[in-house]
Amino acid sequence: MFKFLLIVASFFPQQDGKTEVLEAWYMDDTKEDQRLPHYREPKEFIPIDKLTELGMISWRLNPDSWENDENLKRIRQARGYSYVDICDICPVKLPNYDAKIKNFFEEHLHTDEEIRYCLEGSGYFDVRDQNDQWIRIAVKKGGMILLPAGMYHRFTLDTDNYIKETRFDPRKIANPPVERLSSRLPAQSASLKPLTRSDVVLPIFKPSFVVCFRYLRILLTAAQ
């Protein structure tokens, strides 16, 4: 089933030009400003679709008419996203900006999947690969990514200091972060060691026939 989903996903029409709004690379280990790109030397870029192996899903959509975007409507319907809110992250618009930016950059996970859609600006999501190495994902206007439940990650703005993002969820209930050092939840037990495909991807794609059917449905409807 997993291989079949990857094959179908490779033919998504909305993925055309995805690299213009989403880019990924391995990070260096320096302690410089977190808002810098932190490229390795030489640079080690990663194909965005390679992140599927970590359980992630990504899209390129039209942020200028997102409320009427049929592709986004199909994705939301297939995944059951009924709740949506918009967040402006920048020094002048986000209350308690310094404290919140610090919290965003603490490594954490969520017990539900996390999906973020960039409407304006840009920022970085950092995740770990199967060998526990940091991958930095640059998200620009029009890029949308989904992080599976239990996946360790962190977020920071880039040097432009601004992103406007839309968050989706099946229900209006908080999906609070659980920090790595303090967590003991089942959803993160797989993330306490280096990630593997069985740790992250298989629980997402084979917990039940119903869940597998939902993922197949989103792939087929988005391709129409």
Pairwise CA distance, residues 23 & 63, whole Å: 18
Residue stretches of the annotated binding site for Fe(2+): 108, 110, 114, 153
Which tokens is 125 given?
């999501």
Residue stretches of the annotated binding site for Ni(2+): 108, 110, 114, 153
Taking the CA atoms of 187, 190, 196 and 202 in sequence, report the sign of the dihedral they define: negative
Pairwise CA distance, residues 115 & 121, whole Å: 17
Residue stretches of the annotated binding site: 108, 110, 114, 153
Which tokens is 212 given?
């597998």
Burial of 120 (0-12, 13-18, 19+ CB in 10 A): middle
Output the DSSP codes for 54-75: GT-EEEE--GGGGGG-HHHHHH
